[in-house]
Amino acid sequence: MDLHNRDVRTDVRELGALVGDVLAAQASTEAYETVESLRNAAIAYRRGDAADRDALHEAVDDLSTAREEVVARAFTTYFELINLAEERERVREVRNADDGTALHDSFDATIAEFAEAGVDAEELEELLADVLIEPTFTAHPTEARRSTVKSKLRSIANHLEELDEHNLTDRERRAVWRDVTAEVTSLWGTRQVRQRAPEPEDEARNVQWYLENTLFDVVGDAYEEFEETIAKEYDDVDSPKLFEFRSWAGSDRDGNPFVTPEVTDETLERQRSVAVEKYRDRCKRLSAVLSQDGDRYGDNDALAASLAADADRFPTVVEEARERYPDEPYRQKLRLMRERLDRVNDVRPGEYPDGDAFLDDLDVIADSLRADGQESVLESFVEPFRRQVDTFGLTLASLDLRDHRENHTEAVAEAVGVEGVDYRGMDESERQEFLTDAILQEDPVVDLDEPGDVSETTERVLRRFESFADWQDEYGPQAIDTYCISMTEEPSHVLEVLFLADQVGVVSLPDHCAVDVVPLLETESALNGAERILGTLFENEAYATALEARDEVQEVMLGYSDSNKENGFLAANWDLYENQRRIARFCREEEVTLRLFHGRGGSISRGGGPMNEALLALPNETVTGQVKFTEQGEAIAEKYANPRIAERELEQMLDAQIRARKEANEEPVEDVPERWVEAMEVMAPAARETYRDLLNTDGFVSYFEQATPISVVENLNLGSRPASRSGERSVEDLRAIPWVFSWTQTRLILPGWYAIASGIDAYLDEVGEEEGMEILREMFDEWPFFRTTLDNASLALARTEPEIAAEYADLADDDLRERFFPELVGEYERGCELVLEISGRDQLLRREWLEESLDRRNPYVDPLNLLQANLLGRTHRTDEEERTLRLTVNGIAAGMKNTG
């Protein structure tokens, strides 16, 4: 059966034509013809019908200031719509798979494979019980689009779905297309570039939108699909809780002075209000279904006892429920559940203290329905609801706190200094001893209410910890129970947070510890020192006691972004891989359960790429079943804006994690041949040296400033956080996101591949070309880590366009251009050659759909790049030219489907 009325080519053709129609109507026929001439000139060169880009250059050079803005807007709008067309195509693939066409990496295929391999029901239950996947949404500024623009695009996407999936009459089809035309016309007239930086509250609401409008409903459907899949091969195997969503939006203080306790409090309150309102609505819907006559159904001891408890709690409300729903026990119970939900944000007693209490009441209804033989009602209406409550609780998403370790050190030093303690004068071991004694003693050391005359930084840290205790009292410990420490280098950095939490009662040893203190390891020294840091902590009396209170689970966060920016792509990946193994082995020896938190970004250089492949490429030693990773920027929209794609993402995550866990059970210590390790230990240091030589070469920072749009990116109002840590211009100081974003704009995606060729060549020089290439091919074929690393580099190489990058290089001083650009291109060309030779492929891209997507986009991105380079080259720009320049950044980001 054909499930769809359209295909991607139809969508692209008709949406592209619509952009042209709107352009002609809203600007002019002449403007439309200008855009067409640019488009045709770009296509002619790409197809080989033109020997060079001279015609395209001339067309760009001849644009008036007003026409430049129209051109930038036209191509940006085109890409926004083409992205919707490609999203729709992905939905078609998912729906076709549901109808019988198997997708790779599907949970269905995995369960069938397990059954065929002899995995019994008990082993499958144990595998599922181990798994907990925690996507963690961050507010990092990588989403270039305004919320208003995203809202309009969602509306257009919904209309495309209607055209594609519904049987419409010609009249209905014309009406839908009329609405699409109206939305695109409105989009054309909408400002694309933000005039102000988003505030932390805006970022928190953005994250909340995906939780509230997509994932909340998707979760129930996903579990239903998982259980149906399992039931095909196994009897009586239910899915436990597999997913939990977390967020940094509104709570991540690192480098962002605007995330105050008030912002965090507002975020917690708003998320709880959303969850409560969602559950009230579900209770009302369920009440319409559960109208069973009490004389025939619902005669259950547990249900009767629950109603009796409610009668003691709310005698007046119970009487009203009995009058309204005589002999309808389920409806009576649901009315009282709504009453308890109403009181969550109320001064009146009787509210649900947490999501578990609400889930207990739902379980009473579920058990009664099961006892009454109403399994179909249970499965259709109650089970999806239970999954929502089990996943989202009353918090929607638990928040993680985060700050830079320097701020904690300063706060502790100042706070205890008031009490006569010279913390700054202590060495590391003395600091550890002092903090340990302070945590273990019963009386507080400092008065956080009246800390004395302290700096602004210290005041902010102390206020946050005071609020931390209040938040846990108000919203429950599960609402905000993790504290992440950026740039952790020493054990004292972890003990400082434990000490501050102890001073406010979040920690009260030996019995109470309501926070996971999470070191974020992101520098080479921190990663290599991980065993020293953790070993000292595990042996520390105070920390060991806290760890015991947290069920001996230690979360460790790995920073992909800064590790890559410091060491380069290949060396960073190897450092992360090897240190993960060391940390995992060490934790296992210490009988501590490790939960790795992968600080991944959207781009390849920042740990991006397909999540399922990333999970399967992790070292076996690290796969405990629990895994946590960041989701940010445009990756959130790409994965979670569309419900069907969101469900597919959850399926792929689960599929990869359960496969990885099974493999880890069978081979707890991954068998990595010594020759492979030796190869990496030659390649990684050589690549690191080449990368650092580039960054440390005199003049490179100037070249970066002149040959990329970093000055524009820094002022784009992408996020509430400053683009650099101190305001200085250096690669070290610059945040990883604008670093990657700027290179991506130039189509020279250096952070995703630079120095990989130098590393490989160093190995080939050491062992010989023939032997070395044989081993590298073996590594690619048999080692998921190496294959995934090379595949990701291959993707970054495929998206690099040296000819376009040359346009930006020409903006640099001649001596800088000649010193750097040929070297960058040489490393790129050699990288392409080596990746193809090792992989045995004849092209960089291994996915046909991705190749088609790039072929579709490249001719349209090229004019935007040339226009951007043209504008960057002007010594003085008018306000209108500045606006157009910022618009080209949005357009190229949409065309590349990536920022930072």
Residues marked as catalytic: 140, 565
The token duo for 443 is 């009386």
CA-only gyration radius of the chain, Å: 29
Length in residues, the chain: 900
Comparing CA positions, the residue from 575, 584, 557, 628 lying closest to residue 789 is 575
Phi then psi for 631, rounded to 5 degrees?
Answer: -125, 130
Return the half-sphere exposure (C-beta side, CA atoms, 13 A cut-off) of residue 317: 21
Rounded (5°) CA angle 648-8-217 = 30
Comparing CA positions, the residue from 239, 161, 173, 247 lying closest to residue 203 is 247
The token duo for 355 is 């999501």
**Cα distance between residue 685 and residue 668, in whole Å:** 28
**Cα distance between residue 459 and residue 448, in whole Å:** 9
**Cα distance between residue 853 and residue 845, in whole Å:** 11
What number of other Cβ atoms are within 10 A of residue 691's Cβ? 27
Beta carbons within 8 Å of 488's beta carbon, 6+ residues apart: 405, 494, 519, 520, 521, 526, 533
**Cα distance between residue 459 and residue 530, in whole Å:** 30
The token duo for 327 is 């002999």
Comparing CA positions, the residue from 363, 392, 125, 366 lying closest to residue 272 is 392
Q: HEC states along 422-442?
A: CCCCCCHHHHHHHHHHHHHCC
**CA-to-CA dists, residue 613 to 352, 411, 623, 797, angstroms:** 40, 41, 14, 19
Comparing CA positions, the residue from 527, 557, 566, 571 lying closest to residue 793 is 571
Comparing CA positions, the residue from 705, 704, 736, 706 lying closest to residue 723 is 736
- Residue with the two structure tokens 């769809």: 4
- Rounded to 10 deg, the angle between the 355-371 and 383-392 helix axes is 160
Q: Is the peptide bond before 510 cis (omega within 30 degrees of 0)?
A: yes
Q: What is the dihedral of CA 836, 842, 844, 849, to 10 degrees?
A: -150
- Residue with the two structure tokens 């092209």: 843
Answer whether 568's CB lies under 8 Å from 691's CB. Answer: yes
**CA-to-CA dists, residue 119 to 124, 520, 615, angstroms:** 7, 37, 21
**Cα distance between residue 503 and residue 493, in whole Å:** 16
Return left, alpha or beta for 513; rule: phi > 0 is left, psi -120 to 50 is alpha, else beta.
beta
Answer whether 251's CB lies under 8 Å from 400's CB. Answer: yes
Rounded (5°) CA angle 300-308-341 = 100
Biggest alpha carbon–alpha carbon distance for the chain: 91
Answer whether 495's CB lies under 8 Å from 543's CB. Answer: yes
- Give 3-state DSSP helix, strand, coil % of the chain, rounded to 5: 65, 5, 25
The token duo for 3 is 């499930």
Beta carbons within 8 Å of 29's beta carbon, 6+ residues apart: none
**Cα distance between residue 58 and residue 63, in whole Å:** 9
What number of other Cβ atoms are within 10 A of residue 765's Cβ? 12
Answer whether 651's CB lies under 8 Å from 106's CB. Answer: yes
